[in-house]
Amino acid sequence: MELDFFFFFGSTHSYLSVMRIEELAAGAGILVNWRPFSVRALMREQGNTFHTISPRTAYMWRDIERRAAEHDLPFSRPPIWPTDPDQLANRVGIVAASEGWCPAYAKASFRSWYLDGTELGDLASLSAVLRELGKTPEDIIAKANSEAVRANYDSETDVARKLGVFGVPTFAVGREIFWGDDRLEQALAWAGGTHPAQRR
Amino acid sequence: MELDFFFFFGSTHSYLSVMRIEELAAGAGILVNWRPFSVRALMREQGNTFHTISPRTAYMWRDIERRAAEHDLPFSRPPIWPTDPDQLANRVGIVAASEGWCPAYAKASFRSWYLDGTELGDLASLSAVLRELGKTPEDIIAKANSEAVRANYDSETDVARKLGVFGVPTFAVGREIFWGDDRLEQALAWAGGTHPAQRR
């Protein structure tokens, strides 16, 4: 039983899922595939954008703060958002996913961005995160900037596009998609075959 | 302990809350104020709109269908949406709220729209709903079209605007707002003073 976790380094709500999914999935016996992709590209092409200063955005931060409290996760509003125009942190995520260290990298990155207030993709803070994981920053960043990894990032984005993804985090079980950290439990139920809609 | 339920006749996700809120709130000992308003006006002025045909909209229907199954509510996708350009069903909601029969009216209206496939605000189906509730359709519709009720509808919309509402359903406990049917339980916890973020 497995689940695809589509997320984005720089997505505000992805913080909650990055912090929660490993433990929940392990408890349910579900394998998670960590799949960073460019939700930014999909939102732009679908005209599904929102203003950084608006009632909806003000609410978003408050919602995440309350939900962090519910899940007993630390919260402070990241000072830099949007972040990482080059999407380097995401391409490093592609490298990490292919080499099997994406969960640790994602958690360290979101902690650094959210809680320490660094910018995602900034060379100094990205290097610190990579060193913390025992990696050589120069090697990983060179891979992340290679044509092969750029192509892999684009093809992951295309997988998400074809599934009908429009935001993150999105959890997919085959072609069944669940949008939002608040749908994580439903997605795990679906992966396990116990969601009520599967019995209708 | 009370909670303001801001909703819109014609909002797809409001169906779930209209069907769920009475029983849940009663169980928690929370009084609910049913407050229809023009979310359409707020979404337009905030540039917070979405296309009726898009990945996000396709997902919306599937999400509601799955959530209806979770809550053991009937579901069929309403054939008419968007609906009621004149917002008459909402102004009747203002009349109903001021006279104390909004819950029954809202449930009957959403059933008629969602499950029977009628158009909200259509005179024949609206009259049938009102007769079912023991009301004289002509009288109620005349009130709903009066200047006083139009002004009341606008002032309710302004209350929502000033709270920072941007979508529906929204639950408000004082100035604390919760957006989406999936936040109903949190809002009730907040109204009861037991939400984890109230203890941080």
Dihedrals phi, psi of B151, to nearest 5 degrees:
-65, -40
**Which of B48, B55, B66 lies at the smallest CB-CB distance from A166?**
B55
The CATH architecture one would assign to domain B2-198 is 3-Layer(aba) Sandwich (3.40)
Predicted ipTM of the assembly: 0.95
In this structure, are residues B21 and B184 in contact, taking their beta carbons and an 8 Å threshold?
Answer: yes
What's the farthest any 2 CA atoms get from each other in chain B? 53
- Tell me the domain boundaries of chain A: 2-198
In this structure, are residues B36 and B8 in contact, taking their beta carbons and an 8 Å threshold?
Answer: yes
Q: Which residues pair with B70 in a beta bridge?
A: none
Rg over alpha carbons for chain B, rounded to the nearest Å, is 16
Q: Mean of the per-residue pLDDT values for chain A?
A: 97
In this structure, are residues A115 and A153 in contact, taking their beta carbons and an 8 Å threshold?
Answer: no
The pLDDT score that the predictor gives to residue B30 is 98
- Give the length of chain B: 200
Strands A170-173 vs A2-7: parallel, antiparallel or unpaired: antiparallel
Dihedrals phi, psi of B150, to nearest 5 degrees:
-60, -40
Chain A contact present for B50, CB below 8 A: yes
pTM of the model: 0.96
CA distance B195 to B187: 8
**Which of A42, A56, A164 lies at the smallest CB-CB distance from B58?**
A164
What does the pLDDT look like over B102-152, one tens digit per residue? 999 999 999 999 999 999 999 999 999 999 999 999 999 999 999 999 999
What averages of pLDDT result for each successive group of 10 residues across chain B (200 residues)? 97 98 98 98 88 90 98 96 97 98 98 97 98 98 98 98 97 98 98 94
Mutation choice for A interface testing from B75, B166, B182, B188 by most A CBs within 10 A? B166
**Which of B69, B167, B183 lies at the smallest CB-CB distance from A196?**
B69
In this structure, are residues B134 and B43 in contact, taking their beta carbons and an 8 Å threshold?
Answer: no
Residues sharing a CB contact under 8 Å with residue B75, sequence separation 6 or more, in sequence order? B64, B65, B68, B69, B114
B199 CB neighbours in chain A (<8 A) are 69
Give, in degrees to the nearest 5, the angle at Cα A67 between B64 and B70.
25
Distance from CA of B84 to the nearest CA of A (A): 25
Mutation choice for A interface testing from B66, B177, B188 by most A CBs within 10 A? B66
Expressed in percent and rounded to 5, the helix, strand and coil fractions of chain B are 55, 10, 35
In this structure, are residues A10 and A120 in contact, taking their beta carbons and an 8 Å threshold?
Answer: yes
